Amino acid sequence: MIPAPIAVALDAPDLETAARWASLVTPHVSTVKIGLELYLRYGPDVIASVRGASGVQVFLDLKLHDIPNTVAGAARSVARLKPAILTVHAAGGAAMVRAAVEAAPAARIAAVTVLTSLSEADLERAGVAGPPGDAVRRLAVLAVGAGAQALVCSPREVAAVRAEVGPGVTLITPGVRPEGADTQDQARVATPERALADGADLLVIGRPITGSADPGAAAAGIAAALRKASAGAVRNL
């Protein structure tokens, strides 16, 4: 059975827990995501620990954001770990995104547009006027023009971003919550089925899976729901 297009966010308290979660979910999902906290605590060892023998894709979510030369050096440093995906902030500018792309050619550079935790009011207080979707589209076009092969945006904006950048760019959506799940610190969310229907390629899901009593079963359940929704969409064409 083909694993579902889900990146499980391994926001674990320690390396052993992260590795255990990864082993439980990898039969059902295509990707595991390592964030800044886990990487800073354990360094490169965390990649080998969660990858294990499964060969699952590793999404290294460091959200690099600095001057182009510094980001190039950082991207070059982690490229040897062979992440499938590495994130940078699109707000760092075209030269910075391009520097990351050139420094880590084997990784898919994913440019983060606007964090899913930010609401319109948050952006306004930070000096960004207008709906979040406008900022997301501007940053998406900038990043793709600089060579980014993927974009990170909320599920609320994914349809508009897909229309803006076309079919060749991988769209990654955090802020994905199964029906009835707590939105927690996410401001712009959607269900997995809705996000995929709107054009997302990879869904980032963390606590609804890792916070459950059985992360493997939770991942399997969401994967099965996505397969059912996809089959229904095909039948309705």
* Maximum C-alpha span of the chain: 50
Distance in angstroms (rounded) separating the CA atoms of residues 26 and 81: 19
Q: Which of 113, 110, 106 is nearest to 83 (CA)?
A: 106
Which residues are bridge partners to 206 per DSSP?
none
Q: Are residues 26 and 55 in contact, defined by beta-carbon separation less than 8 angstroms?
A: no
Q: Angle, nearest 10°, between helix axes 158-165 and 132-145?
A: 30
Query: Which of 33, 63, 82, 228 is the catalytic position?
Result: 63
Which residue type, as a one-letter code, is found at position 65? Answer: H
Q: Angle, nearest 10°, between helix axes 94-103 and 132-145?
A: 50
C-alpha distances out from residue 194 to 111, 158, 176, Å: 22, 10, 9
Residue 228 annotated to the active site? no
- Which residues are catalytically annotated? 63
